[in-house]
Structure 1
Amino acid sequence: MKRTKISAMLLALVMALSLAACGGNNGASSGSASAPGDGTYTRESYSVAALKGPTAMGLVKLMDDTDKAGETGNDYTFTLAASPDEITPKLIQGELHMACVPANLASVLYNKTEGQIVTLAVNTLGVLYLVENGNAVQSVRDLTGMTIVAAGKGSTPEYALRYLLSENGVDPDRDVTIDWKSEHSECVSALASGEATVALLPQPFVTVAQSKLADLRVALDLTAEWDALNNGSSLITGVVVARKEVVEKNPGAVNAFLKDYAASVDWVNANAADAAQLIGSYDIVDAAVAEKALPACNIVCLTGPEMSGKLSGYLTVLFDQNPASVGGALPKDDFYFGA
């Protein structure tokens, strides 16, 4: 965990970068700053959590700028966690103001708290890949009769895999065997030991596995397979959520956070080598692995109508497959900030 203060350098960075991802300018003065559509806003202190992986990777520039002191804009305290279970209780109880969580979990929390969770942005698109130590798998249908090792049962990996299998005429309960592991690292170990030849892995674990197995190849990109269905939705891995009371208290400060986040994402995507060093320094992922994995991590900052359109489509697909995967009901409009 790193507890930090945002630096004055961030002001220049945010104003210089493109407005395409989250829009607007982030000026500041003593106690207030300009925010898009909100005139001025009062500075806030936000506690933000992210999972070690692509969502945290997109935050590293903001984390680093915050570490360099100064008190311009919002104050941020960052927490890095290994699993959503470390984050969700603190978010629900109010110890955290914002968190980066799996997309379906955001909907589950919205339903569990009766609408007290708001989604601010999509921060990670598809990062799932089927890898094979061999050349038998050229299409989803080729998985028939095979055993797939995977981690993430009850979350995005399971729902995405089952959906794509079904949509391609492969019964996930009869035509394949899915060997669920507790962690992605166990899947990598299974491949390395020869216990398995096919695995479902997210980045950066794909890169880790390929560093251990020279002949391991990416057989299927689940994002590309999802897009090929042309069903009006996108495969989404992660989102940024906030407590509703946080958003209602100071929407201008929330908009400022989104601009800060967007600037960080833009910098990470444009500066893979430097970003990888920061990622390694925060012990998110080894720097060498991060540099290779970043181009395939699909790190974004999608807000407003673009965010709500893609996310609602994805959640609808999950709901149609298994209502429990989104908490039993699709979120209402108040789930989407700025939509």
Structure 2
Amino acid sequence: MRVDRRTFLKIAGAGSASLALAACGTTAQEPAAEEEPAADAEPVAVRTAALKGPTAMGLVRFMSEVDAGNLADNDYTFEIYAAPDEITPLIAKEGVDIAAVPANLAATLYNKTEGGVRVIAINTLGVLYICELGDTVRSVEDLRGKTIYASGKGSTPEYGLQYVLEKNGLTVGEDVTIEWKSEHAECVQALATAEGEAVAMLPQPFVTTAQAQNDKIRVALDLTEEWDRVQTGDETSSMITGVAVVRSAFADENPAAVDAFLAHYAESVDFVNENVADAAQLVGDYDIVPAHVAEKALPECNIVCVTGEDMKERLSGYLAVLADQNAEAVGGAVPGDDFYYGA
């Protein structure tokens, strides 16, 4: 891998991001801008941060094109971090301009900075899956009477799971039991030693890693699909893992740079979803996850680039679901309309 003066890639830590961050879709939306920025627009520095895991995977083609010197419309730099608490202060102190972060963290940042950030794209839909050793679960109703091993209590995985269960008429503590573990690996271990009626909720790409160690683990339910299945009437939300945000001041000062970034991002996401083997190699080259894991996990990671009104509809509904269960999950309140760039 060659890193030139335009791109400095910082790999911070060897651990994977937490489940609340983990994430990867299949379709890319056109960016909000209808026109390319003028060819003679003055290049600006666009400093970007992303998290190790699915939230960074959609960027890899973009990063490689910058490394190769093929994108010179702006001065793009990228840094990849292991945990969200490494990125949060950078945004607050104007150390980065654009960041790929968990969806609920974006809302929290908006509230804490009093509108200091805006969301420009959904980059990862849900990455949570119900897995089992066997073949007994084909619907959410089949979870009745079972124990679900899961990690992420008090965060978005809990709220997402509970929403899907409740929408299917299952009450936690009565119809289904959730046993919380501190790590995904503990869930897999508990599943392997459980007798009978047990399943595990796991994120990608950890599902792929677990299946490599135990080929009897079967993906029974995709919670992103199950979330979509219970949308009725005016409900238009999606299960969302990650988004890209921009500092509001940067967007106001450099709208052409933001639109150019979104155009490159959408192209990168298309490449990742349409060229899985090549994209997986880039994911490995940038030390996001190993290439062999990425190649199997990418199709299940729901990496997207959803912008504009579609982004607003899906994300505002998702954040409202989280706020209904725990307002602090989104920083105290669902963000206002000014949160949504280009919508």
Aligned counterpart, 1:283: 287
* Alignment pair present for 1:44 and 2:44: yes
Counterpart-to-counterpart distance in 2, 1:6 and 1:260: 16
One-letter code aligned to 1:263: E
Structure 2 SS opposite 1:260: helix
Percent identical pairs in the alignment equals 57
Task: Give per-residue Cα distances to partners, 1:179-229, cap 9 Å, x unaligned.
Answer: 333343443454456699521112111111111111111111101111111
One-letter code aligned to 1:334: D
* Alignment pair present for 1:21 and 2:34: no
**Count of residue pairs the alignment pairs up:** 319
Unaligned runs of at least 5 residues, structure 1: 8-17, 28-32, 35-39
* Alignment pair present for 1:92 and 2:92: yes
Aligned counterpart, 2:273: 269
Structure 2 SS opposite 1:232: coil
* Alignment pair present for 1:245 and 2:249: yes
Closer, same or farther: CA 124–167 of 1 in aligned 2, 3 Å? same
Counterpart-to-counterpart distance in 2, 1:3 and 1:73: 18
Aligned counterpart, 2:202: 201
Closer, same or farther: CA 20–148 of 1 in aligned 2, 3 Å? closer
Structure 2 SS opposite 1:123: strand
Task: Give per-residue Cα distances to partners, 1:270-324, cap 9 Å, x unaligned.
Answer: 1001111111111111111111111111111111111111111211222223222
Counterpart-to-counterpart distance in 1, 2:184 and 2:41: 42
Greater shift, 100-109 or 175-184, is seen at 175-184
Closer, same or farther: CA 329–19 of 1 in aligned 2, 3 Å? closer
Task: Give per-residue Cα distances to partners, 1:121-156, cap 9 Å, x unaligned.
Answer: 011112211111122323223323433222233333
Aligned counterpart, 1:218: 219
2:339 is aligned, of 331, 335, 339, to 335
Counterpart-to-counterpart distance in 1, 2:80 and 2:190: 27
Offset at residue 97 of structure 1 (A): 1.5
One-letter code aligned to 1:235: M
Counterpart-to-counterpart distance in 2, 1:95 and 1:190: 42
One-letter code aligned to 1:328: G
* Alignment pair present for 1:303 and 2:307: yes
Greater shift, 313-322 or 182-191, is seen at 182-191
- CA contact 1:5–1:70 (8 Å) conserved in 2: no
* Alignment pair present for 1:178 and 2:178: yes
Counterpart-to-counterpart distance in 2, 1:138 and 1:190: 21
One-letter code aligned to 2:243: V
Counterpart-to-counterpart distance in 2, 1:96 and 1:3: 19
Structure 2 SS opposite 1:262: helix
Structure 1 SS opposite 2:332: coil
RMSD: 2.6
Higher relative contact order (CA 8 A, sep 6+): 2
Task: Give per-residue Cα distances to partners, 1:244-283, cap 9 Å, x unaligned.
Answer: 1111111111111111111111111110011111111111
One-letter code aligned to 2:309: P
Unaligned runs of at least 5 residues, structure 2: 8-26
Structure 1 SS opposite 2:130: strand
One-letter code aligned to 1:97: D
